[in-house]
Every structure is written in structure tokens, then in C-alpha cells.
Amino acid sequence: MSAVLRAIAFLLILLIPGLQPESSGNKVETFSCGAGGTVNESGESMSDENNRDDSEWQKRLTREQYEITRRKGTERAFTGKYDDHYEDGIYRCVCCGNELFDSKCKYDSGSGWPSFWKAIDNKKIASVTDSSLGMIRIEITCRQCGAHLGHLFNDGPEPTGMRYCVNSASLEFEKRK
Ligand SMILES: [Zn+2]
């Protein structure tokens, strides 16, 4: 048999269904889950934080934390656990652990809420105009998970002149090691 005839015979075998020597080869793929994006629910991957649905946040957070971070609530002034709190460390987002504020930039604004004149990194915080309650304010949220943190005002101390006014319930303090 010439090489040409062999090639034609080979092509016929491939093209005619049922003649293929290992026709089960492709079936495995049908059962694989592809990228498996929904499989990882352990919370280990930070990129999953945004995808948590509302009921999941309710389960993970206390009622107060949920009301404030996911429903844009505000704790009563002078009641939050970090208002009068000046230990050395960092404050993370209570929802996703994102590092938000350093205690070195915390000061007593007298407002009744934890106040910072600077964030650890502006890229970690998103700001959006908030026109609720008949005033124009700048709302600040965690850029990683969307948690409501508080508001940003321009009556803070030097060197920035900014005041990040944050609910204690949005934060989790971690002592510096
Ligand atoms: Zn967050």
C-alpha cells in the first residue's frame, strides 16, 4: 500500500463515526467543572469577597456589623469599641480583612467615631458622593468587598486636613507585632 492510500484510509477511519478506535476519549471533559470558581467557598481567596451574597454576610457578621457595613448604617456616637481606643496596630475591614488604617494616623476628633487623618493606602478605599439625609457627604467603602466604612470630611488635622470618620463596627483591630 502506498503512503497516499494509507493516509486516505487513516482519514476515513477518523471521519466515520463508530470506526474511531478510542471514541470514549472526549467524554471526561463533560464531567469536569472547568475553572471551578464556585467550588472555593472557604473565603481563602480575597477575590471571592465581592461575590458573597447577602445571606452569607448575615451569617458571617454580627447584626450590628451587618447593618453598618452591608446596609450603610451608622453606630451611635461614642458607643463604638474603637472610638476611645489608642493601641498600636492596624485596623482591618471587619468583612474581608483588608488593611485600612494605621493607629499612627488615628486621632481624637471629638466626634464620637474613630477618626483617622490618613488611610494606609488610598487604593484600598473607595469614595462616592452620598446625598442622603439632606447633605452632600463623601461615603467611604472598602474597595475590596464594598463594606460601608463611614464618611470622609475635610476638617481633619495636618498634614492632610482630612478626617476619615469610621464606624467601629466596620473595623477589626490587630495589635502590631
Ligand atoms: Zn472589606
How far, in Å, is the centroid of ligand 1 from the Cα of 119?
14
Q: How far apart are CA 90 and CA 68, in angstroms?
A: 20
State how far the alpha carbon of 111 is from the alpha carbons of 102, 106, 143, 154, 177, in Å. 19, 13, 24, 14, 29
Structural contact between residues 91 and 120, judged by C-beta atoms closer than 8 angstroms:
no
Q: Is 96 a catalytic residue?
A: no
Of 165, 111, 107, the closest CA to residue 137 belongs to 165
- Which residues neighbour 79 within 8 Å (Cβ) at sequence distance 6 or greater? 112
Residues with CB in 5 Å of ion ligand 1: 93, 95-96, 98, 142, 144-145, 147
User: Which listed residue (93, 142, 145, 165) is catalytic?
Assistant: 165
Structural contact between residues 150 and 166, judged by C-beta atoms closer than 8 angstroms:
yes
How far, in Å, is the centroid of ligand 1 from the Cα of 171?
9
- According to DSSP, residue 155 is labeled -
Write out the chain's pLDDT in tens, 177 residues.
556 556 545 544 444 444 444 444 443 333 333 333 333 333 334 445 566 789 999 999 999 999 999 999 999 999 999 999 999 999 999 999 999 999 999 999 999 999 999 999 999 999 999 999 899 999 999 999 999 999 999 999 999 999 999 999 999 999 999
Of 60, 81, 79, 83, the closest CA to residue 147 belongs to 60
How far, in Å, is the centroid of ligand 1 from the Cα of 8?
62
Q: What is the CATH number of domain 76-175?
A: 2.170.150.20
How far, in Å, is the centroid of ligand 1 from the Cα of 14?
54
Q: What is the CA radius of gyration of the chain?
A: 28
